[in-house]
Structure 1
Amino acid sequence: MTQHRVQGENRTPRGIRHRTAKESEGGGADGGSRRGRRRPRRGHRVLRWSAATVTLLILGTACAGYLYYEHLNGNIQKGERSSGDSKAKKAAPNADGQTPVNILLIGSDSRNTAEDLKLGGHRESVGSPPLADVQMLIHLSADRKSAAMVSIPRDTRVDIPKCKDPKTHHEYPATNDIINTTLARGGAGCTLATWQNLTGVYIDHWMMIDFAGVVRMADAIGGVEVCVKQNVWDHSTPAQRGGSGLKMKAGTHKVYHEQALQWLRTRHAWGSDVMRSRAQHMYLNSMIRTLKQQNVFTDSGRLMDLAEAATKSLKVSEEIGTVKKLYDLGMELKSVPTNRITSMTMPRVEDPQNSEHVVPDTANAEQMWRMLRDDVPFDDKGKAAAAKQTTDDKQATKAPSTSDDGIGVVVRNATRSATLGPVGGRAGAIAQELVRKGFTKAAMDGTAGLSENRTVVRYPSAALEGDAQRVARSLGIPLSSVRKSSDVTGVTVVVGADWRTGTSYPKQSKPKAGELPGNSDAINASESGKCMDVYAPYRF
């Protein structure tokens, strides 16, 4: 009998009692003495517990996300944007208020870590200043519809400005040397300043990567596809010591680990340093295509691998030294269609002082630099309007502070170039022309040995900007070449290598989209069938 419930007792399974009608109306079992102390229903308790748990999970995830974000930020090494004497001027916005972005990518040959040493070089190199063996300018157009990648071969002889090491504060005097030595004369900021002076292009940021970083990035991406026409082995020979060790059979291969670095370092097997630049462009183009094909941003594991590899591999200029800024920059680059990305190498000729070096092919190189300065697309797929930057014809002018005969002007001869000596008498000729035009205070500066690729007019303070513009207009010099500078005390005309004859600055036609010099070795990023030709002694 004990197995039967007492008649009338209202219980549910597991001993939970149903409320009586009186209790349901608000009273307790004792007729109302427990009014207001009603126990919460189990469903409500579960909901509150679930809400609290979800809140904790969200907070925990957010906290973990924040800590991981800070961890990634902590990985990034930063440095001074420019540590050299440079006078390049940032491009003016276009009609929509947009400006181009220029990033200098530097590949360091540093062997100052065990990881780097294991990947290449000799132990004797440990502790030596690194060299900037890879230098490439990435130009993102103002409208974000096209991009360009321009390399300068490491053995290019250039004028290097005065630089200061941001760590030791040691000052290096201006010199003339091959461009890969700039990294040892004040870090990446000196390399950036050298590029700015050579090209006239304002460079917003730099990024630097070493041997170990290249390997980490290649592995995080899952390998980069490359191609050779013949079997290749870049090894030491009796005629040429050294070599990257790259060895692969003819055809297409994915390179990972150390082999990715070997591909980028190979020079002898391609025949020259210029051909090494081509191989590097092909590698980067392949990497771009790979990243665009991968669904990185919906694959959290792959995204974290890439983020970890990138932040550990890169040293960047301080103004982009956070994960968010690097991510935003990456998204802008990602938005450019592959067929609107053009890579090339600076037009160059053999150095008359050393046959193993090169110097800029003055006219053709200047055509390329001007396209970058004016944001003219390197491909011919863009609209003509894309090339219209707010330049000289739209630049605001200021009134001079006095009449022409009251403006003091100094003229300097800087017509020397890497391939041509100075033209004698240029400062005197232009000073005389200014006097003839009414600038009676114009005089020549006899300083010898100066070198400027482009003619400029410099002024020391805002009060003299209008005077400098007035002088420039009288000689036909574009207002985009009028620049404020701390190394002059008055309005100064610096006659560059682009003005070797005549007393009126030569008019220059505006470059057209896709109008590249023939010796620029241009490659479009959408061209996937490109293969490197192997120099005969390195075939097997």
Structure 2
Amino acid sequence: MPLTRQDPSSAGRRGRRRATSGRKVLRWSATGVALVILGTAGAGYLYYEHLNSNIEKGERSSGDSKAQRTEPNAAGQTPLNILLIGSDSRASDKNVALGGSSDNRDNPPLGDVQMLVHLSADRKNANVVTIPRDTRVDIPECTDPETKKTYPATNGIINESLGRGGAGCTLATWENLTGVYVDHWMTIDFAGVVSMADAIGGVEVCVKQNVWDRPLPGMRGGSGLKLKAGTRKVQGEQALQWLRTRHAWGSDLLRARAQHMYMNSMIRTLKEQSIFSDTGRLMDLAESATKSLTVSEEIGTVKKLYGLGMQLKTVPTNRITMTTMPNVQDPLDENHVVPDGENAEQVWRMLRDDVPFDANGKDKQKSGEKDEDGKVSKDPAAPDAEIAVQVRNGTGSDTQAAATGRAGAVAQQLVGEGFTQAVADPSAALSRERTVVSYPSADLEGDAQQVAKSLGIPLTSVKRSTDVSGITLVVGADWREGTAYPEEKEPEAGDIPDNADAINGSDKNQCMEVYEPYRW
């Protein structure tokens, strides 16, 4: 009988996900280590050219994405979003030795670990979100920058995006799902995790019971992690085992929690160490960091990574919050998950609006309030009767069918408001989490904003897009009934849904519960 355990934070969903033969999960902690190290590695310029030659680079986006950068706040600052990807690639002997499954050596890599680091516009806090590897999403059309092969758009598991055009395809997938513009990506493989874990010198983790993640009758796999109860320091291959452990915690979702605990502990460890006083160790860390990472080409130098790290290292640990995307069981496959509607959208909105996941700042509202006047187009709107508007139904989602008649109802409301050229698009319904008003060129921005204002749609939902030929209103899943856009409470700092499993970076009391069959 399969050994499973219900995830306490997700009632109704099986605790154990289907084991995938030959696939082990790489955890992303080394990437975060690299960011912190490079932020303190000023002495690394002694080896500038050498370190530059260590860094592998790739195209930022290789997929079809329409996400736009967040507008600057009143101080002219913008947030920074970095996508961290852990690859299960078996492309080297060392990765095969660490990850096993040499039969899969030539298979496309899977992005089994994916998380977004959002650094606030004022650089005072950092929000981190993991999307579980078995999440079903829309993957856009992507072209592999090396082979030039084009992969058609598909609906599939998010970890498959890495093999459909590289990290740039995974980035485009995230942008389309969240509406968040992603500035950069970084990837790391098994060998890189071990190298970085050795370089840092160990990180403290905690288990409530003795743990041994090993094969059991009816359950293959296991990372090999074996620890006694209590707080223990792990490094090198044992750190990789911690980050890959799944069965001993009981689920993929709980594995993400263990990774977040590790990452927070690692950040605290680095902040406590006097790296500047030990030049030799500093250079070892910089060497490991540059060899471990592949990065998007626009940040592919030590100087640019150094600048990036300098921005990240100043964030206090109590302003760093690790979360997992709120999710529910996939209605099409019990072994997969999908975003949890309004709760997931709350997380994405907080990222788009630059709202802290923590409530530990002096300003309990947004980290950098936008100038309201800066949102309004300087281009005056035409008279309402002269503005042509196409209305489309986008109220469907992964968990519910589109509401019938929405395009017609909203178009009729617009006509009643004086937009006599508003028409409903009779084509097939779309799937959009949020309502959006799109316009193709700057001279139509004022018209698009006028349409939004007439229905109470926030101006943050007015977007420029090359996908439309005129002003287009897509009624999203957030507006399934009524003719006036539902009022929304502006999210405030700390308004994270309960099922995001948030862990603050200053919390030293986190300890993993071991699923009983894996205790010893």
Q: For residues 458 and 373 of structure 2, what CA distance do their matches in structure 1 show?
A: 8
Q: Which residue of 1 aligns with 2:286?
A: 307
2:340 is the counterpart of 1:361: yes
Residue number among 133, 156, 180 corresponding to 1:201 in the alignment: 180
Who is 1:349 aligned against? 328
1:154 matches 2:133:
yes
Q: Aligned residue pairs: how many? A: 477
Query: Does 1:260 pair with 2:270?
Result: no
1:383-402 CA-to-partner distances (Å, cap 9, x unmatched) read 13544431766412243563
For residues 309 and 457 of structure 2, the distance between their equivalents in structure 1, rounded to whole angstroms, comes to 37
CA distance in structure 2 between the aligned counterparts of 1:532 and 1:77, rounded to whole angstroms: 35
SS of 2:248's equivalent in the other structure is helix
Cα pair 1:119 1:212 within 8 Å, conserved: yes
Whether the aligned pair in 2 keeps the contact of 1:92 and 1:389 (CA below 8 Å) is no
Could you say what secondary structure the match of 1:87 adopts? coil
Q: Does residue 221 of structure 2 align to residue 242 of structure 1?
A: yes
- Tell me the alpha carbon deviations over residues 145-183 of structure 1, each in whole angstroms, 9 at most, x when there is no partner: 111211111111112222221222222222211111111
Q: Percent identity?
A: 69
Q: Report deviation, 1:349.
A: 1.0
In the other structure, the counterpart of 2:116 is: 137
Deviations 1:303-343 (A, max 9, x none): 11111101000111111111111111112111011111111
SS for the counterpart of 1:268 is coil
Residue 440, structure 1, aligned to residue 420, structure 2: yes
Partners of 1:408 and 1:284 in 2: how far apart?
A: 51
Does the 8 Å contact 1:404/1:439 carry over to 2? Answer: yes
- The equivalences for 1:198-347 within 5 A come to 198-347=177-326
In the aligned structure 1, how far is the partner of 2:158 from the partner of 2:178?
A: 13
Change (3 A) 1:437 1:449: closer
- The amino acid across from 2:405 in the alignment is G
Q: In structure 1, what is the equivalent of residue 19 of structure 2?
A: none
Instruction: Give the whole-Å Cα distance in 2 for the aligned partners of 1:473 and 1:99.
Output: 25
Q: 1:237 to 1:478 in 2, by over 3 A?
A: same
Residue number in structure 1 paired with 2:408 = 428
One-letter code of the match for 1:373?
R
Does the aligned pair in 2 maintain the 1:148–1:341 contact within 8 Å?
A: yes
2:21 corresponds in structure 1 to none
2:383 to 386, 394, 403: 403
Amino acid at match of 2:408: G
* In 2, Cα distance between equivalents of 1:151 and 1:66: 33
Residue equivalent to 2:495: 515
Give structure 1 regions of 4+ aligned residues with deviation exceeding 4 angstroms.
64-67, 391-394
Determine the C-alpha separation between the residues in 2 that align with 1:263 and 1:447.
50
Do 1:162 and 1:174's aligned partners in 2 also have CA atoms closer than 8 Å?
A: yes
Say which of 398, 409, 425 aligns to 1:418.
Answer: 398
CA contact (8 A) 1:87 1:483 kept: no
TM-score, with structure 1 as normaliser: 0.85
CA contact (8 A) 1:339 1:524 kept: yes
CA distance in structure 2 between the aligned counterparts of 1:411 and 1:306, rounded to whole angstroms: 55
TM-score, length basis structure 2: 0.88
Question: For the Cα contact (< 8 Å) 1:387–1:512, is it kept in 2?
Answer: no
Which 5+ residue runs of structure 1 have no aligned equivalent? 1-63
Larger RCO, structures 1/2 (Cα 8 Å, 6+ apart): 2
2:488 paired with 1:502: no
SS class of match (1:384): coil
Structure 1's 533 and 66: CA in aligned 2 closer, same or farther, altered over 3 A?
A: closer
Whole-angstrom distance in 2 between the partners of 1:243 and 1:237? 9
Bigger-Rg structure (1/2) = 1
Q: Deviations over 1:408-429 (max 9, x none)?
A: 2111111111211111211111
Residue of structure 2 in register with 1:490 after alignment? 470
Residue 123 of structure 1 and its aligned partner are, at CA, apart by 1.1
**Corresponding letter in the other structure for 2:477:** A
Aligned partner of residue 270 in structure 1, secondary structure: coil
Q: Which of 90, 93, 96 is the equivalent residue of 1:114?
A: 93
Q: Which amino acid in 1 is paired with 2:438?
A: R
User: Would the aligned equivalents of 2:355 and 2:365 in 1 still touch at CA under 8 Å?
Assistant: no
**Structure-to-structure mapping, 1:520-539, within 5 angstroms:** 520-539=500-519
Q: Which of the residues 134, 159, 163 maps onto 1:184?
A: 163
User: RMSD over aligned Cα, in angstroms?
Assistant: 1.7
Q: Distance in 1 between matches of 2:177 and 2:104?
A: 29
- Structure 2: where are the runs of 5+ without partners? 1-42
Amino acid in structure 2 at the alignment position of 1:453: E
2:63 to 84, 97, 103: 84
Following the alignment from structure 2 to structure 1, what is the Cα–Cα distance between the partners of residues 205 and 289?
21
1:393–1:505 distance in 2 versus 1, CA, 3 Å: farther
